[in-house]
Amino acid sequence: MAEGKFVAYYRVSTQKQGRSGLGLEAQQEAVRAFLNGGAWELVAEVIEVESGSNSDRPKLAEAMRLCRLHGARLLIAKLDRLSRDAHFLLGLQKSDVGFTAVDMPEANEMVVGIMAVVAQAERKMISARTKAALAAAKARGAVLGGHRGVTPSRNAQDAGRAFQSARAQARAADLEPMLRELAAAGVSSLGALARALNEKGIPTSRGGAWSPVQVSRVLERLADYHPH
């Protein structure tokens, strides 16, 4: 039984199909059948009109952005719409957006398995490099093992800060279209923006409620954002 928040993504191959609903109605019906019963919320339905050979998917990017903003899961009506789409799979891997294929829910586990294999390979390479570095340090006479007040190197600290900054910048970019819409509607003060985001059910990056201070930090990252 479906529970939680979802964003439905539909794909039709031609403008004619998009206008007529051919193929689209069947996808929508499949999603409705999947969501039948349970405590769920369909946050949005996003329709992509494009060729199966085209890797540019702006509506897919929009659907994934909405998933990140709302903490929702991506719903795909038919697996064959995306199963051969390497662009989608790579984008999904980078986005941390969970998805379910309505016609084959277990397929999600297969994708997770593929990602796990890749992650395992990366961990093995990292482990090998770490062991080599420890062996080199030991050869230089460094004392290894246990906690001895060792602080991360400057490079490690810089890398950590850069990673957190990149995540915050990506989150701000996801929020920017919504903030611009609110500003156009006359919602421009920090307090009003915070209330609007909370009313829309958009959590902060840590899953909590928005405050004016948190909104101001996002706006600071959007250098070209002008609410007035």
What six digits make up the tokens of 163? 């990673």
The answer to whether residues 222 and 193 touch, using CB atoms and an 8 Å cutoff, is no
Look at residues 115, 39, 47 and name the one whose alpha carbon lies nearest to residue 76.
47
- pLDDT at residue 8 is higher than 90: yes
Query: Can you give the pTM of this predicted structure?
Result: 0.56
The SS3 assignment for 85 reads coil
**167-215 pLDDT, tens digit each:** 788 888 888 898 989 989 998 899 999 999 999 888 888 888 999 999 9
Phi, then psi, of 84 in degrees rounded to 5: -105, 10
pLDDT band at 69 (very low <50, low <70, confident <90, very high): very high
Whole-Å CA distances, 46 to 57, 206, 218 = 11, 26, 26
CB neighbour list of residue 55: distance below 8 Å, 6 or more residues apart: 85, 87
pLDDT-based confidence at 6, cuts 50/70/90?
very high
Angle at 46 between CA 40 and CA 51, to 5 degrees: 140
pLDDT for the residue numbered 115: 45
Answer yes or no: are the C-beta atoms of 51 and 90 closer than 8 Å.
no
Just give the CATH number of 4-105. 3.40.50.1390
> Using an 8 Å Cβ cutoff, are 27 and 77 in contact?
yes
Residues 110-163 have pLDDT tens digits of: 554 464 455 445 556 766 777 777 777 777 766 555 555 556 677 767 677 777
Round to whole Å and give the CA distance between 11 and 174.
22
Alpha carbon distance 95, 97 (integer Å): 5
Residue 3, pLDDT > 60, answer: yes
* CA atoms of 71 and 87, how far apart (whole Å): 22
Closest by Cα among 89, 7, 87, 90 to 47? 7
- Please answer whether residues 83 and 74 qualify as being in contact, where contact means their C-beta atoms are separated by less than 8 angstroms: no
Helix boundaries (H) for the chain: 15-20, 24-34, 58-70, 86-95, 107-139, 154-184, 190-199, 212-221
